[in-house]
Amino acid sequence: RLDTSSPSVRHLQDLIRHASAVHIELDGGQSVQGTICWQDHEFLAIQQERDQPLLMVNRTKVVLLRLLS
């Protein structure tokens, strides 16, 4: 269950609400860009391109998440 009092969870919810584009770096050196569609306690669902299926990213593998401007 997500702790909605956590600042990081609230920040992600703001990114989701505003459909903000983000850059995510993963453990192992891979990176992903897109918008976060939803989150749960294990995964972030990332929409990379409009016609592509959602990419599921395990939250424990995220080492950096930043807003793209």
pTM for the complete prediction? Answer: 0.91
- Angstrom distance (rounded) from CA 20 to CA 29: 22
pLDDT tens for each residue of 4-58: 899 999 999 999 999 999 999 999 999 999 999 999 999 999 999 999 999 999 9
Neighbours of 20 (CB within 10 A): 14
- Angstrom distance (rounded) from CA 29 to CA 18: 27
- Angstrom distance (rounded) from CA 35 to CA 20: 6
